[in-house]
Amino acid sequence: KTYIVIGAGILGASTAYHLTKTGAKVMIIDRQDRGQATVAAAGIVCPWLTQRRNQAWYKLAKGGAKYYSSLISQLEEDGETETGYKKVGAISIHTDEIKLEKMEERAFKRLEDASEIGEITRLSNEESREKFPPLAEEYSSVHISGAARVNGRALCQSLIRGAEKHGATLIYGNAALIFNENKVTGIKVNGEAYLADQVIVTAGAWANELLLPLGINFLVSPQKAQIVHLHMGETDTSEWPVIMPPNNQYILAFAGGRVVIGATHEDDKGFDTRVTAGGLNEIYSKAIAVAPGLSDSEVLETRVGFRPFTPGFLPVIGAVPGYESLLIANGLGASGLTVGPYLGAELAKLALGKPLEIDISLYDVAGAIESLK
């Protein structure tokens, strides 16, 4: 059977990788949009401390974090060692000891069915600063050893290269669906038509325009995010943990002195890729209040990405109702680097007609679809 995957962010790359590994014939199309979420993403994999109560979402996030160890070894077997993934741990910081106690309780509760959380340790303010030297003096923390950072671009590229090693082909260009009444038969890209038994749409925040010709309004909205990369000179940042402050921002480090701070959450901005004064002001003021030791670092770049959100902030996965041979997954929102590799593996199973680990009725595509007919 032949499959075409439209959109090679983390979700499409993972879908294609898992599909090709079963021997399926796979073509991947990507338009390299400015604002691709996967390239802009911070890269935190630590879903367990969340206060979000939605169980369907948590199941995916938990499963996604757990799946990483299997994925990384699969990629290593394919010779892909530059995945940008490292379990550096995270510290969730606060000045209020009672809040920290609650956080620790929540972590221990979640540990009961998620051993991948690893060790949970309370750290004093001094111990917290030993782990992350730029931190302000007043913060103590809860340390989670199983948390990780991942370079979205590096992981996505290794999944694509992995897929190519197993025989997938990659085409850069703008894909449009080819359909005959209610059956999707292939795609058109760069003036050429390609037929497939199944087309899989993993087009992130841009998916709506692909489905419009079918008379479908796909309810995905882009949430704009600006995120800043800093450089701390010769400082060895390679082992620094992810910092989760009490505000809605975060700080994480990569090797080579790179520190990432952000990100903004901007609704109703459409596909505006501008870096703005207000956005930077929010990012800098929040980051430096938490970690004044970052003040003297050099500004390397600001990235802008669009988090794809579907209704209820819940991902969707499944067949597009009313159409044959068309699958879609979307809505990875703010946790797509965590969830994407896992959901892509599940989407590949769905395409192959194999049993899934997740209950897809919890992530019904119909909830994100408005028929225009």
**Contact stretch for ligand FAD (CB under 6 A) within 41-49, 50-58, 126-134, 346-354:** 41-49
Binding residue for ligand FAD, selected from 30, 78, 104, 116, defined by CB under 6 A? 30
* 355 DSSP 8-state letter: P
Could you say whether residue 350 binds ligand FAD (CB under 6 A)?
Answer: no
Closest Cα partner for 252 from 264, 241, 236? Answer: 241
Q: And the tokens for 44? A: 């935190």
Question: What's the one-letter identity of residue 294?
Answer: L
Q: Which range, of 97-105, 114-122, 125-133, 204-212, touches ligand FAD by CB under 6 A?
A: 204-212
Least CB distance from residue 231 to ligand FAD, whole Å? 18
Among 92, 151, 157, 202, binds ligand FAD (CB under 6 A): 202
Considering only 8, 159, 230, 320, the residue that binds ligand FAD (CB under 6 A) is 8
Residue 250 beta carbon to ligand FAD: minimum distance, rounded to whole angstroms: 7
From the list 20-28, 34-42, 267-275, 320-328, the region that binds ligand FAD by CB under 6 A is 34-42
Other CB atoms within a 10 A radius of the CB of residue 171 amount to: 16
Return all residues near 219 (Cβ < 8 A) that are at least 6 apart: 208, 310, 311, 368, 369, 370
Closest C-alpha to 173, from 28, 9, 34: 28
Which span (106-114, 191-199, 336-344, 356-364) binds ligand FAD, by CB under 6 A? 336-344
- Stretches 10-18, 49-57, 68-76, 359-367: which one binds ligand FAD (CB under 6 A)? 10-18
Candidates 27, 28, 40, 314: give the one binding ligand FAD (CB under 6 A): 40
Rounded Cα distance between 245 and 182, Å, is 49
In the set 336, 341, 345, 351, which binds ligand FAD (CB under 6 A)?
A: 336
Site for ligand FAD in 225-244 (CB under 6 A): 225, 227
Near ligand FAD by CB under 6 A, which window of 2-10, 16-24, 124-132, 288-296?
Answer: 2-10
Residues 138-177 that bind ligand FAD (CB under 6 A): 152, 174-175
DSSP tag of 217: E
SS3 category, 128: helix
Q: Look up residue 224 and give its amino acid.
A: K
Does position 42 interact with ligand FAD (CB under 6 A)? The reply is yes
Nearer to ligand FAD, 103 or 175 (CB): 175
* Residues listed for the chain: 373
Query: Which residues, 266 to 325, sit near ligand FAD by CB under 6 A?
Result: 305, 307-308
* Cα 184 to Cα 147: distance, rounded to the nearest angstrom: 41
Which range binds ligand FAD by CB under 6 A, 6-14, 52-60, 267-275, 281-289? 6-14
* DSSP conformation class of 135: S
Interface pick for ligand FAD out of 4, 18, 19, 33 (rule CB under 6 A)? 33
Q: For residue 31, state whether it binds ligand FAD (rule: CB under 6 A).
A: yes
Pure H helices in 137-272 = 152-165, 207-211
**Which lies closer to ligand FAD via its Cβ, residue 103 or residue 316?**
316
d(CA 293, CA 307): 29
Q: Report residue 349 CA to chain centroid gap.
A: 20
Alpha-carbon span 130 to 270, nearest angstrom: 41
For CA atoms 94, 99, 103, 104, the dihedral sign is positive
Q: Which residue is nearest to ligand FAD (CB)?
A: 336
For 114, left (φ over 0), alpha (ψ -120 to 50), or beta?
beta
Compute the distance between CA of residue 97 and CA of residue 71 in angstroms, rounded to an integer.
37
- Sites of contact with ligand FAD (CB under 6 A): 6-12, 29-33, 36-38, 40-44, 152, 174-175, 202-206, 210, 225, 227, 262-263, 305, 307-308, 332-338, 340
